[in-house]
Amino acid sequence: MERLRDLDEAGVLQRVLPLYGAAGPAVAVGPGDDAAVIATPSGSVVATTDGMVRGRDWRDEWSSGHDVGVKVAVQNIADVAAVGAVPTGLLVALVADPALEVAWARDLAAGIAEAARDAGAAVVGGDLSSGPPGVVVVTVTALGDLQGREPVLRSGARPGDVVAVCGSLGHSGGGLALLLRSGPSALEWAGAGLVRYHLAPRPPWESGPLAAAAGASALVDVSDGLATDLGHIARASGVRVDLDGTVLREELAAGPLTEALGAQEAWNQVLTGGEEHSLVACFPAGTDVRALPGERWRVIGRVAEAGPDGPVVTVDGAVTHARGWDHFTPP
Q: Which residues contact 139 (CB under 8 A, 6 or more apart)?
A: 49, 50, 51, 52, 72, 92, 93, 95
Q: Tell me, by CB under 8 A, how many residues bind a copy of itself.
A: 76
The residue within the footprint of a copy of itself, chosen from 23, 45, 247, 306 (CB under 8 A), is 45
Q: How far is Cα 125 from Cα 139, in angstroms, rounded to an integer?
A: 12
Q: Is 205 annotated as a binding residue?
A: no
Please pick, from the candidates 14, 18, 21, 56, the single residue that binds a copy of itself as defined by CB under 8 A. 56
- Angle at the Cα of 83 from the Cα atoms of 80 and 89, rounded to 5 degrees: 25
Task: Return the range that interacts with a copy of itself (CB under 8 A); candidates 160-168, 217-225, 291-299, 305-313.
Answer: 217-225
Of the pair 141, 268, the CB lying nearest a copy of itself is at: 141
Q: Does residue number 126 form part of the binding site for a copy of itself (CB under 8 A)?
A: yes
Interaction residues for a copy of itself, span 231-250 (CB under 8 A)? 236
Q: If binding is defined by CB under 8 A, does position 139 make contact with a copy of itself?
A: yes
Choose among 237, 258, 236, 238: nearest CA to 249.
258
The letter for the amino acid at 151 is P
Q: Is 18 in the site for a copy of itself (CB under 8 A)?
A: no
CB-facing half-sphere around the CA of 201: CA atoms within 13 A: 31
Bridge partners of residue 94, in order along the sequence: 128, 138
Three-class SS of residue 156? helix
Candidate list 23, 40, 249, 294; residue touching a copy of itself; CB under 8 A: 40
Angle at 237 between CA 232 and CA 241, to 5 degrees: 70
The binding track of 70-109 with respect to a copy of itself, each residue x by CB under 8 A or -, is: --------xxx-xx-x---x-xxx-x--x-----------
254 touches a copy of itself (CB under 8 A): no
Stretch that binds a copy of itself, among 111-119, 142-150, 197-205, 246-254 (CB under 8 A): 142-150
| Cβ count near 180 (within 10 Å) | 11
Q: Strand pairing of 86-96 and 122-130? A: parallel
25, 318, 327, 331: which one binds a copy of itself (CB under 8 A): 327
Binding annotation for substrate: 57, 275, 325
Binding annotation for ATP: 126-127, 154, 223
